[in-house]
Copies of this chain bind each other. A is one copy, B any other.
Amino acid sequence: MKSLSKAAETFGAVVRLDTAAERLIIDSGRRVVGVVARQYGQTVTVRARKGVVLCAGGFIFNDSMIADYLPDCLENASKTGTDYDDGRAIRMAQAVGAAVQNMGSSEISTPVAMAIAAPSVLVDGTGQRYINEDAYGGRLGLASRQRRRNGVFLVFDEHIHTDYLAVRERLGVESISALAANRIMPRATPTWVCETISELEESAGIPAGSLETTIDLYNKFAAKGEDPLFHKEPRWLRPLRSPFAAIDLRDANYRMFTLGGLRVRPSGEVLDLDGFEIPGLYAAGRTSAGIPATNYVSGISLGDGTFFGRAAGTHAATSNTG
């Protein structure tokens, strides 16, 4: 950010801090020609000769938009971002006719540290697996969250837990949680510890026999370094042995932020409901729908902000409308 800010200033960009854009100004030809903003209680206007590039984050902190587009975010979710991810840039653009896209999608973080999830077995309330436990955190988060009302349990054994504690000890809590891409909650304290899977089924309210069946099948293949059901990498495959443990993830908290936003061309030009460009209006970063669709992958927002932000700035600067 330091390098980017410095480069912008070198090229003559003027930075206005503590200034919140409130609405766009359009001329009689529907071209966006400026913004109205608030600065220390005063209304200020800014003339935009070439165009306005909206790059103001998503809408995770706008309760009314969340209720409309992502009602699932209203419970057991840690909203991730800054207070300024209030959707204002999206609404400002919608007020001049912009279309939105993909508003129902969100990043959903893993509810458990990846370092202990990978060698374990993740099952839902029926005692059945639903994903390769070494999946990318965002995929594991989405799949787990969809099942949370039906039960989500991470099942492991003493061996896995001891290994995890040793790694955590060696790297320090801070580092492993960072490594695990789960900075808020590297949760790994067993909810139940049992001698048999049958006891675990009873404790967790999983139908008798079903988790046992799942673990037997998992173990049979794990012993051969195989996972034909979900194709987990062989290095994480090892049969689970007594004593067993499980973490109840039904009330786990998920870090979430929004992925949808304004409909844009790769040039950053914002499109209206009919698919035409709104002259002078651009968007980038999480204000735009951008690259991610149903799933997030770490870093995509940086690309949506920098790569497409640069494209938008370049397009605006070289447009023939000065």
- A residues in contact (CB < 8 Å) with B: 64, 68, 91, 94-95, 99, 101, 103-104, 126-129, 207-210, 213, 216-217, 220-221, 228-230, 263, 273, 275
Contacts and interface: CB of A to CB of B under 8 A. Distances in A.
Contacts of A68: 99, 101, 263
Contacts of A220: 209
- 5 closest pairs, A vs B, by CB? A207-B228, A126-B229, A104-B104, A128-B128, A213-B217
Number of copies: 2
A275 B126 contact: no
Contacts of A64: 275
A171 B213 CA distance: 40
A62 to B, nearest CB: 11
Contacts of A128: 128-129, 229
Contact of A217 (B94, B99, B101, B209): B209
Nearest to A208: B228
A189 B275 CA distance: 45
Given A99-B68, A126-B229, A229-B207, A273 B213 contact: no
B95 A229 contact: no
Contacts of A103: 104
Given A95-B273, A101-B68, A229 B217 contact: no
A274 to B, nearest CB: 8
B229 A273 contact: no
